[in-house]
Structures are given as structure tokens and as C-alpha cells.
Amino acid sequence: MTLPVVQKLFAAERPLVLAHLLALSASDRRLRFGALMQDAAIERYVEGIDFSHDRLFGIFGLDMHLAGIAHLALEPAQRYAELGLSVDARERGKGFGFALLLRAKLHAVNRGFNTLLMYCLSENKTMVHLARKAGLKVVTDQGSVDAHLRLEAPSFGAVAQEAVEDQIALVDLFWKQQLQWLHMPVEAA
């Protein structure tokens, strides 16, 4: 199975991140954040993302909507990275969550972080499955799941892989933007 192309997201994409999260159903919001999140709380969450500190990754659909995002919260002092994922309900089953997880993991490895953490509700079977599939150790306790993975040290191969993935992502983004441009309605003169 070919994994989808994952883009690095920047502060300029904050409105797209917000639109993605607001489009999640109440149930999906609860699974993503561990609690029901109203629109105002999601707006505060997105506004509070520090793009100079944390890393966000996304997968764009052909129509340039964010089909899935990963928020990698970095804790440099203790050398761990915490990951949160969400995928649009219409895009599930295409490997987006796994691709986002792997891309975030690669980034954490190449920045010298030694542990990847994921927390979710125990009923979030998809996240538990993804964590196990990616090799994270999963511990269930009183309705929640803690998953962690000891990360390998950065290597030349991992750095080269990230550089190649970044270049492929640029080509993918350019192609999707051009496709959007070609399908834009022409305004009457």
C-alpha cells in the first residue's frame, strides 16, 4: 500500500487546521481530545498552537482541504514528543492516520527526541490500532490508553528520508494547487 504524501504545516495554514477540527463530529472531537470540545474551545486550541515550537503535519485532499492532521507537541527539556491525530471521516481507511504518525515519528527522531507519546480514550480503537501498528507500547488504564515508543537515534538514512519526503511533499502540493487553479471558475469580464 502506498502511503499518502504528508505536508509540513505552517502558521499560514492555521485557518485550514481550524476548519478541519471544526468539521469533526462531536464524537470525533471527543476521541481526538479526550473530552467533548465546543467550537470556542477548538478555536482557542488552534490559536494557541506555537508553530515555532510544535510541528504540524497534514494531508491535503485534491480540493486542498486538510483531510488529516498530526500535532506533534515537542518537549525539548525532557526529550519527548506527544502526538495527536485526526482524520476527516470521509477519508478514513486510506492510511492517512498511519502516514501522519510515521511522518511525525521521523521528524521527532531527526530532532533527537527519545520518546514518542500518544494518549487516547480506550474506546478509540483506531488510535490503539495505529499505535500498535507503529510499534508503540500500549498500556490501558481506567478508560484511557497511554502509548509510548523509545525512538532510535538520528541517522543519515533517517535525515535523508525526511529530506526526500519534504521534496515529494512540495511536488505534491504544487500539483494539487495547479489542479485547483485549473478548475477555478472563470469570472465574467
Say if residue 188's pLDDT is above 60.
no
In tens, the pLDDT along 107-139 reads 999 999 999 999 998 899 999 999 999 999 999
Residues 6+ apart with CB under 8 A from 163: none
Cβ neighbours around 55 below 10 Å, total: 21
End-to-end CA distance of the chain: 47
Q: Is 67 helix (H, G, I), strand (E, B) or coil?
A: strand
Q: How far is CA 154 from the centre of its chain?
A: 21
**CATH number for region 7-182:** 3.40.630.30
Note the pTM of the prediction, 2 decimals: 0.89
Helices (H), the chain: 14-23, 26-33, 39-47, 96-110, 125-133, 156-182
The span from the CA of 84 to the CA of 181, in Å, is 32
C-alpha cell at 127: 488510535
Q: Is the pLDDT of residue 77 over 80?
A: yes
Asked if pLDDT for residue 1 goes beyond 70, the answer is no
In whole numbers, what is the pLDDT of the chain averaged over residues? Answer: 92
**Per-residue confidence band for 183, with pLDDT thresholds at 50, 70 and 90:** confident
Q: For residues 89-109, give the mean pLDDT.
A: 95
Asked whether 58 and 69 are in contact (CB, 8 A), the reply is: yes
